[in-house]
Structure 1
Amino acid sequence: ACSAAALAYPDTVYDMVRMGVAQYGFWPSPDIYYMHMQAGEAKGNGSLKRLFTWKTDVMDVRDVDAGEFIGYGTAYQATQDMKVAVLPLGYSNGYPRGQSNRGFVLIKGKKAPIVGLINMNLFMVDISHISNVEVGDEVVLVGRQQNNTINISSFTQLTQLLNNEMLSRLPSAIPRKIVK
């Protein structure tokens, strides 16, 4: 049985279960989650706990004048003077290009909107509203920082990806660290 079968159809488990996305605390699909909720198990110990955080750091901080374009092409034009942070990852690292001009990251606990196209190995975020951002500051791509959260669902809703599709697209070259 896979994650979905193990959670929704326990009579299919037999001798072994190959847990996939559920081992990270994500529902395999909305249907499995709704089945879980209808079964009344949401109040008990049957709920899944998210165990995944994805972080990077600020690679550069740049001032952008009103009227300048950010990133490749003309996908984003600054309407006012701005400050942007350059982040050292892109679609080659599994970050969905569909988040261009739509997604957010967390810096210093505040949401910073993505500006311009997500490139192969970098993208930019507007930090005009966040004070004292410096090279090396932590950036949360998925997870919690102070009182804000970026969920996997923010990727899957905008880009039509499944939870397991989003999580499995992250290349093995990305360093992993187990935090207890």
Structure 2
Amino acid sequence: MNFLNSYRIFKNNLKGYQPNYHLLRLEIDSQQLKNNIHFIKTKFNIPYLTAVLKSNAYGHGLKEIGKILDSNSQIFYLAVDNIIEAKILRNFNIKKPIIILGYVPQNILKDLKRIKNIILVVNSLTQAEILSQKINFPLTVHIKIDTGLHRQGISLKELITTIEILKRNPYLKIQGLMSHLAEPTNNKNLSIKQLECWKEGVAIYKRMIPDYQSHFFHLLATAGINYFSQIENNLARIGIGIYGFDTTTEKNLSVKPVLSLFAKIVNIKTVKKGEGVGYGFSWIANKDTKIAVIPCGYYEGVPRYLSNVGYFYYQDKPLKIIGRVSMNLTIIDISEINNLQLEDEVEVFSTDPQKLNSFNNVADIGKTIPYEVLVHLSPQIKRVVK
């Protein structure tokens, strides 16, 4: 999806929410979002907290989450993956400084000047050389070192050279050092090695940059946040945690999910015993069965693996998905519910972790992680902030 298409989608979502116009409603609990942020910041005494908004704010809605957090004094930075996400935030008049975690192509580096208040992450020695040669306007950078994840980041042996190259350009302001843990929840030995590497990287950085006292040092995200007091850092990048998911080994985060999805029934009918439902007739009625058609399929974010095993809810009653989940439709068994009518709402995904349609339970069915389910929620679904 290019920037213009993304912008049109989000621009349309600016219009006031009118329930009668939408078959789907993705609801954001803004107070719970604030509660999650407050808990994480205060429990770990984090001086500077960065909220990660990449991938459409983990499916929650880049514009909606950005607007909520722009006025939140406990959030210092917003972090996105790419320049497109940064432009979208600025187009919605969101003012907080933005860290761009990913690579920005050389031919659009000049666009960073217009976005303003941007921090660019330097992920390789080659990128440092490009920036040193091409940047002719003030630009703040954080240097990422590879402590063992082996994705983005420069090696420790390249750190001195990288800093020297960046210093050649007076427009470039080095203001931070960062990295990322590979497996803080399941591989403690690897994390210890990465923490040792981080310590060495910090020492090199301080030798090369005498005025480091005002700089930012950040290694930890949600899963590794319990290491915060054990290492030298003053900033944490929290993504899945602020959205209400505890990915730590310790399971000591008092956070709750903030996103739920509702859909209106668009058809009700009775399937006779022996007849099938959906593509391939993967479900056959063993008795006359009352069904409802829900306008929400794998395009909207209902995983296809929920076919014949997943559940939606009407109030507190689970309603089993029958037949294959289609691109834009899912069928549920409503035989046990009386008086359901067209346009009554069912709950597709719940904030309640005990329900069968919670994001954690849905991810478990597919042997995946809630991140994957969340980011597949279509950006065309109307986000409603409560």
What's the TM-score once normalised by structure 1's chain length? 0.83
- Residues 1:52 and 2:259 are matched in the alignment: yes
The answer on whether the counterparts of 1:68 and 1:77 sit within 8 Å (CA) in structure 2 is yes
- Distance between the aligned counterparts of 1:155 and 1:13, measured in 2? 37
Q: Secondary structure at the match of 2:276?
A: coil
TM-superposed deviation, 1:76: 0.4
The aligned amino acid for 1:167 is L
TM-superposed deviation, 1:108: 3.9
Q: Which residue is equivalent to 1:35?
A: 250
Q: Which residue is equivalent to 2:245?
A: 26
Q: Secondary structure at the match of 2:343?
A: coil
- Residues 1:154 and 2:358 are matched in the alignment: no
- Distance between the aligned counterparts of 1:82 and 1:23, measured in 2? 41
What's the TM-score once normalised by structure 2's chain length? 0.40
- Residues 1:9 and 2:227 are matched in the alignment: yes
| Matching residue within 95, 113, 127 for 2:334 | 127
Q: Which residue is equivalent to 2:25?
A: none
- Residues 1:70 and 2:277 are matched in the alignment: yes
- Distance between the aligned counterparts of 2:380 and 2:374, measured in 1? 14
The answer on whether the counterparts of 1:100 and 1:114 sit within 8 Å (CA) in structure 2 is yes
- Distance between the aligned counterparts of 2:280 and 2:347, measured in 1? 26
Q: Secondary structure at the match of 2:384?
A: coil
- Distance between the aligned counterparts of 1:18 and 1:175, measured in 2? 27
- Distance between the aligned counterparts of 2:257 and 2:362, measured in 1? 15
Q: Secondary structure at the match of 2:241?
A: helix
The aligned amino acid for 2:227 is Y
The aligned amino acid for 2:287 is Q
- Distance between the aligned counterparts of 1:103 and 1:115, measured in 2? 8
The aligned amino acid for 2:237 is R
Q: Which runs of 5+ in 1 are unaligned?
A: 37-41
- Distance between the aligned counterparts of 1:18 and 1:137, measured in 2? 40
- Distance between the aligned counterparts of 1:13 and 1:54, measured in 2? 40
The answer on whether the counterparts of 2:275 and 2:285 sit within 8 Å (CA) in structure 1 is yes
TM-superposed deviation, 1:18: 2.6
Higher CA-based Rg: 2
Q: Which residue is equivalent to 1:39?
A: none
The answer on whether the counterparts of 2:257 and 2:351 sit within 8 Å (CA) in structure 1 is no
TM-superposed deviation, 1:122: 0.3
Q: Which residue is equivalent to 2:214?
A: none
The answer on whether the counterparts of 1:59 and 1:135 sit within 8 Å (CA) in structure 2 is yes
Pairs aligned (count):
165
Task: Give runs of aligned pairs for residues 61-140 of structure 1, distance below 5 A.
Answer: 61-140=268-347
Identity across matched positions, percent: 29
Question: Judging changes above 3 Å, is the alpha-carbon distance between structure 1 residues 13 and 85 closer, same or farther for their aligned structure 2 residues?
Answer: farther
In the TM superposition, what whole-angstrom CA distance separates every residue of 1:119-159 from its partner, at most 9, and x where no partner exists? 011010000111011111111112269x9663112211110
In the TM superposition, what whole-angstrom CA distance separates every residue of 1:32-74 from its partner, at most 9, and x where no partner exists? 1x323xxxxx4xxx41122121111111111111111001112
The aligned amino acid for 2:239 is G
Calculate the aligned-residue CA RMSD, in Å. Answer: 2.1
Q: Which runs of 5+ in 2 are unaligned?
A: 1-219
Q: Secondary structure at the match of 2:250?
A: helix
More helix by share: 2
- Distance between the aligned counterparts of 1:123 and 1:143, measured in 2? 17
The aligned amino acid for 1:20 is G
